[in-house]
Structures are given as structure tokens and as C-alpha cells.
Structure 1
């Protein structure tokens, strides 16, 4: 079950929320609630396609059935995993930045429980993807991950985030991004497995490099980090 109150919007209300969220997010990119609202109000068709792909995938079906959540009470054991494991790498990523898995805003604008879960899952696996692709959380790293997210899910919000992020680059960042990060992210997002169909929590105990090979993930070149 996805916590929080869900709000049903008619098309005009949905457009109004999307526009208001877009303006607010441009004015203050730190507003995660506005970014989340924009993603939900513009992303329903994309989330519907992701849902159908998950239903066609054996592992994706288990995710939909069990509905795991990336919250402290369910992923805290990652902090106790051996250093070489995917779980330990995720714990290091979170701990080094003082991030909490409980900080994601709730889903409010999805019509069904299934779509609400898919939207929440997409939001919550974001830090798993940072870990797997070896991307930093600076403006360039986040923009590169949004390219991968667009390749994987075709969410309009991901593409808008790339435009918004690159607009804030200075000249040196823009050159670095478009010369190195952008082409790498396009290739990385296209050649890896369908990442929304992965039950990440069941792979915490596996070696990080092995899961990367298994899922076709090519981390960001070390020189770019």
C-alpha cells in the first residue's frame, strides 16, 4: 500500500497542476514535491507502459505482487552487507551523503493503486541507479541519470529535468556534459536491462560487479566522477 492521500484530477486540473509545478520547480529546483507532482501529472502514459512491461517480466511480476518499498525499515540490512556487495555499495552511497531512503515525497496524482506503486517504485529506485552507474549527485551526475531514466521509461519529466539541469550549467560543465556524459548516458540507458523489472533488494547480497555485468550496466567512466 502506498501511503498518503491520492487526488483524482480532471484533464484541466491535471494541466493546471503540471503547469504550476513546472513553474515552481524552475524557480526552486530543490522543491522535490513540485518535481514529483510534475512527474506524475505528465507521466501517466509512460507509467502505464512501464506497468505493462513489469507484468510481462517474471521478476517484474514479483515486484508488483510483493510491492517492496525502499524505506529504512526494509533496506536497513544493506548496511550490514559485505563490502563487495551491491547492498553495501548502496549503503555507502547513502551514508556518504547523509541521505535517508525515507525522504521521497508520496505519490498523489495516480489513478490506480498499481500505477501509484509503479510511480513510487520509479522514485525510490533512483538511488539504486546512482549506485549501479557510479554517478555523483552533483548537477552533471543528476542530469546524466535523467538521460538514462528517459531512455528507460520515456518520462517527460526526465527530459524536462535534463533541459532544466543543462540550462544551469556553466560553460565548462556544459562542455563536459555534452562531450562525455550525454553520449555515455544514451548508450548506458539503451544497452542495460529493463531496470524497472529488477527486484533490487533480492540482489543486495550479490557482488556489485557481477550484478552490473548481469544487468548490462556500464558505469560512468572514472575520469568523469
Structure 2
């Protein structure tokens, strides 16, 4: 389901991969594979809690049962949906940045297929969250979304990413982030529904503003000029 064979690590191996991935990602934040490995090796308890919440939610259970994958073959129809829909907004987000849903690295360091799917799902819905919250993919936007992801999943990697991202801000970016985006992200991540329990693909045809209201989404603030 995750696209590759799982590698079960002993605790010392897990720690070694986590430290190596953290150091590598610090030197080159564009290395998605290192960031993914860091998230997996430090996030198992958090993913276990997400899995239990999904099992308690009717929609979350449906996701676990069907195990949808956010890949081109499954979400390509979003490009043909009416302009006002959530699916069309997602298609615009991806198309305007020349992103492909097929570019996510596979999950490797999880103990079970079920946990591996949850980790993969968290990785693949990232762009849905960008669309719903109206966040750009620049350093500020990604850091703000990591705050929301931490509020939702309590993954250590999200917190580390915020620290790493904000350390690369210039003074203007730092002021903008902490005055406007950070307090909004804390509130937005806390107030919205449990986003890992949403079967997004079944809501592509619905109006974007309707699903934002239904899921308690507070769109990102407009940055002051």
C-alpha cells in the first residue's frame, strides 16, 4: 500500500536514522526523503494516536478500510470539476505550482502496514490542507502549515520543521510570521475538525467555502503590505 517494503528498525537504529536525517535535512531542507525519514522515526507514537482516532471516526474508518491514495490516477478528475469546488481549488493549487501528487516519497520505517498507511496518508493530504487553509508554499506558508500539522497530529518532526524554518527567516519574515501567521495557525489547528479523519476525495465535488465551514477551517490571514 505504501509503495515499498517496510524496514523494521531496532531502537538504536531508529535513533541513528533520526539523528542522521535531522542533520541532513538541516543542511539541505529540500531533501524530502530525509524529512520523511525523520517524521517516521520520531513519529510512531503520534501516528498510533492518529490511527486510534481514525478508528473511532466513521469517516476515518472508511479511509482506513478503503485506503485511498492521493495519486494522479485517483485525483486527476479534480481538474474537470466546477471552479467553485474543493476539487477544482486543489487542482489549481497543484497546477499553478507544477506539482504532481505522485512525487511523495514512500513510507519505509513503520512497524505495520496499517501504521505505514496512516503515515502515508498524513504525507499525501498535505496539499489538501494547503488548499483548504489558503497557504502559499513559501517558507512562511510551509512553517505555518507545520504549526497546524503539529496541533493536529503532535508529530515531533512538525515542531522541528517550524524551528528550522523560522531560523532561516529574515527579520521582515520573522516579524510577519510571529505577529500574523503563528497565532492564526495555533488557533486554526486547534479549532478545525480532526483533519486526518476526513475522506477528502469524497468531498471534491462540494463547494470550497461549504467544506471550509463544515470542517471549521479558518483561512490564512492576508499578509499586510
Give me the TM-score of the superposition, normalised by structure 1.
0.99
Structure-1 separation of matches of 2:89 and 2:222: 16
Q: Establish whether residue 77 from structure 1 lines up as the match of residue 77 from structure 2.
A: yes
RMSD of aligned alpha carbons: 0.9
- Per-residue CA deviations over 1:115-163 (Å, capped at 9, x if unaligned) read 0000000000000000000000000000000000000000000000000
Change (3 A) 1:50 1:224: farther
Equivalences for residues 1-225 of structure 1 within 5 A: 1-223=1-223
Report how far residue 2 of structure 1 moved: 1.8
Residues of 2 paired with 1:187 and 1:26: CA distance?
28
The 4+ residue runs of structure 1 with deviation greater than 2 A are 222-225
Partner deviation per Cα, 1:17-72 (whole Å, 9 max, x = no partner) = 00000000000000000000000000000000000000000000000000000000
> Is the 1:181–1:224 Cα contact (8 Å) retained in structure 2?
no
The SS at the match of 1:222 is: coil
In the alignment, the residues of structure 1 paired with residue 49 and residue 87 of structure 2 have an alpha-carbon distance, to the nearest angstrom, of: 28
Q: Deviations over 1:80-121 (max 9, x none)?
A: 000000000000000000000000000000000100000000
Residues 5 and 108, structure 1, Cα contact 8 Å, conserved in 2: yes
Distance 2:218 2:68 in 1: 26
- Aligned partners of 2:215 and 2:5: how far apart in 1? 35
Tell whether the 8 Å contact from 1:132 to 1:219 is kept in structure 2 after alignment: yes
Query: What are the ranges of 5 or more consecutive residues in structure 2 without an aligned counterpart?
Result: none
Question: What secondary structure, in the 3-state scheme, does the structure 2 residue paired with 1:223 have?
Answer: coil
The structural deviation recorded for 1:222 is 2.5
C-alpha contact (below 8 Å) 2:15/2:41 kept by paired residues: yes
Matched residue pairs, number? 225
Match of 1:202, SS state, is helix
Q: Indicate if the aligned counterparts of 2:143 and 2:161 stay in contact, CA closer than 8 A.
A: yes
Alpha carbons of structure 1 residues 56 and 171: separation in structure 2 relative to 1, 3 Å: same
Residues 224, 128 of structure 1: alpha-carbon distance in 2 compared, 3 angstrom cutoff: farther
Displacement of 1:5 in angstroms is 1.8
In structure 1, stretches of 5+ residues that fail to align are none
